[in-house]
């Protein structure tokens, strides 16, 4: 990201429900940046999924650990990092088969990463050094103004 940026940091306990704090913070930052309402809704869903993954899979629901959410608002994009104390993943899971999920042939869970990728412009999962501080980096570009 180029130019001036503003960074907002939120620390959440590893308890389900607190992803809503990250959602509302991200929505506030995106609104200040001028994002369209439907884009803000996409962002909120992606952030919630990323935080839930960090709480459940990264921190294994250990409420002694925290999830960090860094929001870096640039001139033309919002970059988000959701950081946990997990090892991260060596490889991304396979793309879910929606038909199999609907017909009960595949676990109905496991859509989070696929959903995140569909809702943001860039998504990157980074394993932390020494098996700690893994994160997902999301980038959502601000649409140019309609003239």
Q: Which residue has the tokens 């913070």?
A: 25
- Domain locations in the chain? 6-141
Tens digits of residue pLDDT in 121-136? 999 999 887 767 899 9
Structure tokens at 17: 């429900």
- pTM of the predicted model as reported, rounded to 2 decimal places: 0.85
Tens digits of residue pLDDT in 52-75? 999 999 999 998 999 999 999 999
Bridge partners of 82, per DSSP, are: 69, 136
CATH number assigned to the domain with residue range 6-141, chosen from the 4 options 3.40.430.10, 3.10.310.10, 3.40.50.620, 3.30.565.10: 3.30.565.10
Q: Which residue has the tokens 């020494």?
A: 130
- Judging by beta carbons within 10 Å of its beta carbon (0-12, 13-18, 19+), is residue 105 exposed, middle or buried? exposed
Listed in order, strand segments (DSSP E) in 36-132 are 66-73, 77-84, 122-126
Q: How confident is the model at residue 108 (pLDDT cuts 50, 70, 90)?
A: low
């Amino acid at each position: 990201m180029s130019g001036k940026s503003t960074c907002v940091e939120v620390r959440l306990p590893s308890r389900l429900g607190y992803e809503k704090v990250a959602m509302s913070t991200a929505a506030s930052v995106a609104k200040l940046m001028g994002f369209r309402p439907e884009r803000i809704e996409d962002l909120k869903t992606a952030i919630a999924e990323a935080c839930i993954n960090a709480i459940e899979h990264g921190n294994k629901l250990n409420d002694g650990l925290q999830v960090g959410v860094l929001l870096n608002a640039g001139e033309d994009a919002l970059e988000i990092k959701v950081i946990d104390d997990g090892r991260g993943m060596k490889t991304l899971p396979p793309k879910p088969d929606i038909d199999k999920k609907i017909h009960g042939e595949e676990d109905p869970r496991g859509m989070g990463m696929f959903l995140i990728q569909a809702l943001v412009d860039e998504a990157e999962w980074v394993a932390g050094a020494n098996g700690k501080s893994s994160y997902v980096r999301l980038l959502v570009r601000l649409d140019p103004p309609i003239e």
